Each structure stands twice: as structure tokens, then as C-alpha cells.
Amino acid sequence: MIRLDAVRKTFKTGETEINALDGVSLHVERGEFVAIMGQSGSGKSTMMNIIGLLDRPDEGAYLLSGQNVAGLSEHARARLRGTAFGFVFQSYSLLPRMSALEQVELPLIYQGVRDRRRRAAEALVRVGLADRIGHRPTQLSGGEQQRVAIARSLVVDPLVVLADEPTGALDTATGHEVMTLLSDLVNQHGMTIILVTHEPEVASFAHRMVRMRDGQIIQDTGASNAANPLNGEAST
């Protein structure tokens, strides 16, 4: 479903060039749970941004469900980004004056969906927050706020959920609860999730671990045998 082939991305700092991605190739199949690991500066966040259409590669190909998306216009990229991807960030990115229900409705408002209230409520039920629909962020725990963010990512029925350090602001126990929820979304509902983390405990929930260093993939554990919940076959 996701295919990066020989992708390169270079950033300039003054006269210095940094190869954030140095010929990276990665294939992710539907229903996989992939953890991308690496230290700061390894290229993992750059690769996540390119996958999520937040940035463009300088070289190489990016195919999403068979479509070459690397050269799409900004307008086309924005439209595809809003429908194909759900984003979960470390900071939750919730608006302080909005209820949980209103937070989850936001992506649907941008898409002009009419039955957004029903769909938002269903997404909150899906993440175990049926009794927190009317609560604002200050009335929710950190774990509950992250669940709202996850519900917001799910409400558009995305092809892929991209989670960037989703437990970084949580204590160990709450982080475990959030990761269990993400794991259940994959194993029980067939979601595709790509997770960026530097914590081995968090990465252990994934089917597959991709390790990066200096803009390159140095290890891809489980690429040939990651279970695909949709068909029970091995992903390649």
C-alpha cells in the first residue's frame, strides 16, 4: 500500500547539507503495525513527514495504493492527506475550549461531511470515551486526551494512522493503555499504523520494527513475516 523507493531528502543549514534520508526504500502493506525507531537525527521523522504528505522527497518514488504521489500539486496533496491519513502527535493538539466531540468533528467539518456528529460520537465510543463526549481537555487525563486525538484520526476512515511519539507525554501505565488501544485497532479492526518512537517498550507493540541511523534503514525486523489481520497471510 505504501512504497518508498530510493527516497532522498536533503536539508541545508548554512553551507552544510544534511542527508536526512539517503536512498531509503520501504514497503508497508495494509494491516501492518510498523514502528520506526532511531535516535534524534536518524531520519525517522523526515520519513514520517514524507509518508504523510507533509513534505516532498528530493529524489525517489513514493507510491500510495499504486498512485505516484510525489509530484502531486499542493492542493491535491492537501486533499489526499486529509482523507488518506490520520495523525496522532505527542502533544495531543487539542483546542482548549472545545469538547471531545467537537475536537473529533473537526476533520469532518473541513471535508463538508453532514453526519459528522454521529460519526464523531462513534469514534469516541470506539476508543472507550463514550462517557467523556462533552468534556473539554482540562477535564480529561493525559491518556484520555490522547484517546480523543486517536478518535479524531480515525473519524475520517483513513488508509493509515501515523503516530509520532504518541506516548511521549504520558506516564508508563497510561502509555501502555494507549499502545494497547493502537494494537487493538490493528489486530481487531485491520487498521494500518506507522509509529515513530525511540522507546523499545513502545515499539514492542508493533508487528515490525524498522531501525534508522544517519538517514538510512539499518534493520527491518519482521518485514517478511508481519501478520496481516485482513487476510492472515504474510506481508512482504
pLDDT digits (tens, 9 = 90+) for 13-46: 888 889 999 999 999 999 999 999 999 899 999 9
Examine the pLDDT at 236 and tell me if it is beyond 70. Answer: no
Distance (Å, rounded) from C-alpha 54 to C-alpha 105?
A: 22
Q: What share of the chain is helix, strand, coil (3-state, %, to 5)?
A: 35, 30, 35
Q: What is the pLDDT of residue 13?
A: 82
Q: For 168-185, what is the mean pLDDT?
A: 95
- 69 in any annotated domain: no
Q: What is the pLDDT of residue 3?
A: 97
Q: For 159-173, what is the mean pLDDT?
A: 95
Examine the pLDDT at 177 and tell me if it is beyond 60. Answer: yes
Examine the pLDDT at 147 and tell me if it is beyond 80. Answer: yes
- 23 in any annotated domain: no
Examine the pLDDT at 234 and tell me if it is beyond 70. Answer: no
Distance (Å, rounded) from C-alpha 47 to C-alpha 21?
A: 7
Q: What's 79's domain CATH number?
A: 3.40.50.300
- 190 in any annotated domain: yes
- 14 in any annotated domain: no
Q: How many domains is the chain built from?
A: 1
- 193 in any annotated domain: yes
Q: What is the pLDDT of residue 226?
A: 39
Q: For 222-235, what is the mean pLDDT?
A: 42
Domain with 189, as residue range(s), is 30-56+74-231
The pTM for the full model equals: 0.89
- 22 in any annotated domain: no
Examine the pLDDT at 135 and tell me if it is beyond 70. Answer: yes
pLDDT band at residue 223 under the 50/70/90 scheme = low
- 142 in any annotated domain: yes
